[in-house]
Chain A
Amino acid sequence: MLRFLFRRLLVAIPTLFLVITVAFFMMRAAPGSPFVNERQLSPQIEAVVMARFGMDKPLHEQYFDYLGGVVRGDFGPSLKYRDKTVLNILNENYKVSLILGGVSILLAAMVGMSLGVIAALRQNKVADYFTMGVAILGVCIPTFVTAPLLVMVFASKLGWLPTAGWNGGALANLILPITVLALPQIAIISRLTRAGMIEVLRSNYIRTARSRGLPESLIVRKHALRAAILPLVSYLGPAAAGLLTGSLVVEKIFNLPGLGKFFVISALQRDYTVVMGMVIVYALLILVLNLIADMIYAALDPRVRLS
């Protein structure tokens, strides 16, 4: 197990390095500069500003400077926000995304799995049709449709919940955004669970367990579920990464100070260092979550050997 972890981390390093390289040069190849939008700078001042951030050097030197910084854990200063480093900015904004993303993916996993199991056990009965009908609706309604609709009903018309804002993470402010983020995930997860469960329930070892007279609830919980959620495990890694780095639309509609919104603004303003920082965080999350998914996979499926 430890050897597997170690080897996977070793493989992750070149991938991460490639990600940084590709992102760095792609961003620099795009036209524009972080300093054009400000008041018209005289060429002299612009040269001074560029020199201050080391941007007067040739591109490959900047690239190696940046890489060196990343290795030392220094992501550089923001080019747009005076006196803030990239780490400051990430630090200030990650909490919102972490709470929203984390809670919604956990909620979605729990609700989705339960619904999927129920649907599978009642295959082709009313409960199944109902859950899967709702699930397909959930897949087909994008968050930017559910969000305004829910705001219209629960905030504007009924006045039960605030329309938007973070408000220090108050529960009332979290309910709508988390619901909006979780709904499509619930739909996908319940469909995946149902499909896996139906396939597993037909298999021989379940028939064996039944013939041994084990109670159905035990068969479902101990025998079937383990194998049935395997496809789900590989789905959850990237899905969680996407949610944790922020959902742009939800952050925009509910006016939340998360990472996603920051990412778009920074990219549009060519705040190179901030964008690179976000890209690295995202890539790291994907790599780590995929690694965790693989380990869960191996723990659930004894045929898979980590090597």
Chain B
Amino acid sequence: MIPGSPQRAELLQQAVKGRSLWDDARRRLLSNKAAVAGMIVLAFMVLAAVIGPFVVPFHYDTVTKPDVWAAPGVGGHLLGADSLGRDLLARLVAGLGVSLAIGVVATSVSLLIGVLWGAVAGYVGGRVDEVMMRIVDTLYSLPFIFFVILLMVTFGRNIFLIFLAIGAVEWLTMSRIVRGQTLSLKQKEFVEAARAAGLSGSQIILKHIVPNLLGPVVVYVTLTIPAIIIAESFLSFLGLGVQPPMASLGTLIAGGAQDMEIAPWLLIFPSLTMIITLMAFNFIGDGLRDALDPKDR
């Protein structure tokens, strides 16, 4: 082979273009049909929730007397109407938006608390770790509904506090996962190098530990969002969550369950929307886990 030949240049180029962990993961994720389908469905749901309210010709809270119990397709109501003649499709896109927003916001809260808590406990170790994890154990042993009711009676039935309440409980598992990862990360050479370079503890945690936690955290997030959507729906179903006239998937299903004898569509369409959304999240989560988990390579 002659130096400088086109062949060599080609080889060099290949050698230089290394594949990062994230390139690899993306490739694997995109070749996973279920995960791609999940992403497409989810994108559609988000789009429906964002644009839906402007496209659907009804407002989610407009009471129309003659349209009471309108079946799907009757009176321009594509999915029918409820006991007050409110358009189900309009309520569905509004409720979907509320549920998705709660899922995302509460997950962000739990992400923020859980990652910092777990990373600090794992990195500092010793007494601090013991105390911090004992707190997590204690909170774990309290029933979820206990926090929610207390937060609600303290702050009133405010939708933002429901976000907060759910997020403030869901961070526990996240902090355990993150702590476990941090314990192994802090033994790595790059952390030692950072310490030798004179970085402070908080700098090392934020700039070196946290970015390396991304893999497991991303996977867990895609499984937390649907868990929170379910939790919110449970609360709304029990009358403790989103308050009328606002809608969420949970309140719609709860209402539909009451009226299912008269108007089964009120139960079926919200249930289907919820199931499809949750399935999309689950497929993406499974796909991400397969893509990021180094064990299965």
Q: Which of B150, B226, B278, B279 contacts A267 (CB 8 A)?
A: B150
| A139 CB contacts on chain B under 8 angstroms | 278, 282
Contact B278 A140 (CB under 8 A): yes
Give chain A's interface residues, CB within 8 Å of chain B.
Answer: 14-16, 18-19, 22-23, 26-27, 29-32, 136-137, 139-142, 144-145, 147-149, 152, 156, 238, 245, 248-249, 252-253, 263-264, 267-268, 270, 275, 278-279, 282-283, 286-287
CB distance from B279 to the nearest CB of A (A): 5
User: Is B141 part of the binding interface, using a Cβ–Cβ cutoff of 8 Å?
Assistant: yes
CB-contact partner of A15 in B141, B146, B250, under 8 A: B141
Q: Which residues of B140-154 have CB atoms within 8 Å of chain A's CB atoms?
A: 140-143, 145-147, 149-150, 153-154
Choice from A18, A137, A270 contacting B138 with Cβ under 8 Å: A18
Q: Which residues of B contact A275 (CB under 8 A)?
A: 146
Partner of B237, one of A26, A30, A144, A245: A144
Determine how close the nearest CB of chain A comes to the CB of B102; give it in whole angstroms.
15
- What is the minimal beta-carbon distance from A27 to any residue of chain B, in angstroms? 6
Kindly state the separation between the CA atoms of A253 and B234 in the bound complex, as whole angstroms. Answer: 12
Q: Do A283 and B142 form a contact, CB below 8 Å, given A148-B260, A264-B149?
A: yes
Q: Which of A136, A152, A248, A263 interacts with B279 by CB under 8 Å? A: A136
B264 at the interface (CB under 8 A from A): yes
CA distance A263 to B141 in the complex (A): 15
Q: Is there contact, CB below 8 Å, between B275 and A29?
A: no
Contact call B141/A287, Cβ cutoff below 8 A: yes
* B-side contacts of A144, CB under 8 Å: 233-234, 237, 250, 253-254, 257
Least CB distance from A71 to B in Å reads 18
Chain B residues packing against A (C-beta within 8 Å):
134, 137-143, 145-147, 149-150, 153-154, 226, 230, 233-234, 237-238, 240, 250, 253-254, 256-257, 260-261, 264, 267, 271, 274-275, 278-279, 282-283
Closest chain B residue to A17 by CB distance? B138
CA A278 to CA B275, docked complex, whole Å:
32
B residues near A283, Cβ cutoff 8 Å: 141-142
Which of the listed residues B138, B139, B282 has the most CB atoms from chain A within 10 Å of its own CB? B138
Distance from B256 Cβ to chain A, minimum over Cβ atoms (Å): 8
Pairs across A and B, CB under 8 Å, 15 listed: A15-B137, A19-B142, A22-B142, A26-B147, A30-B154, A32-B153, A136-B283, A137-B279, A142-B274, A144-B233, A144-B254, A145-B271, A148-B260, A252-B238, A267-B146
Give the residues in chain B near A19, CB-CB below 8 Å. Answer: 138, 141-142
Complex CA distance for A253 and B283, rounded to whole angstroms: 30
With a cutoff of 8 Å between Cβ atoms, the chain A residues found around residue B254 in the complex are 144
Closest 7 CB pairs of A and B: A148-B257, A140-B278, A283-B141, A267-B149, A18-B138, A145-B271, A140-B279
A156 CA to B260 CA, complexed, in Å: 10
Residues of A within 8 A of B274 (CB): 140, 142, 145
Give the docked Cα–Cα distance between A74 and B108 (Å): 42
Chain A CB within 10 A, most for which of B139, B143, B149, B233: B143
Q: Measured between C-beta atoms, what is the minimum distance from B2 to chain A in Å?
A: 47
> Nearest Cβ distance between residue A244 and chain B, in whole angstroms?
12
**Given A31-B153, A245-B143, A267-B149 in contact, is the A15-B237 Cβ separation under 8 Å?**
no
Chain A residues closer than 8 Å to B271, beta-carbon distance = 141, 145, 149
Apart from A26-B150, A144-B257, what 15 extra A-B contacts exist at CB < 8 Å? A15-B138, A19-B141, A30-B154, A139-B278, A140-B274, A140-B278, A144-B237, A144-B253, A148-B260, A152-B260, A152-B264, A252-B238, A263-B145, A264-B149, A282-B142
Please name all residues of chain B whose beta carbon is closer than 8 Å to the beta carbon of A263 when the two chains form the complex. Answer: 143, 145-146
Q: What CA separation (Å) do A15 and B140 show in the bound complex?
A: 10
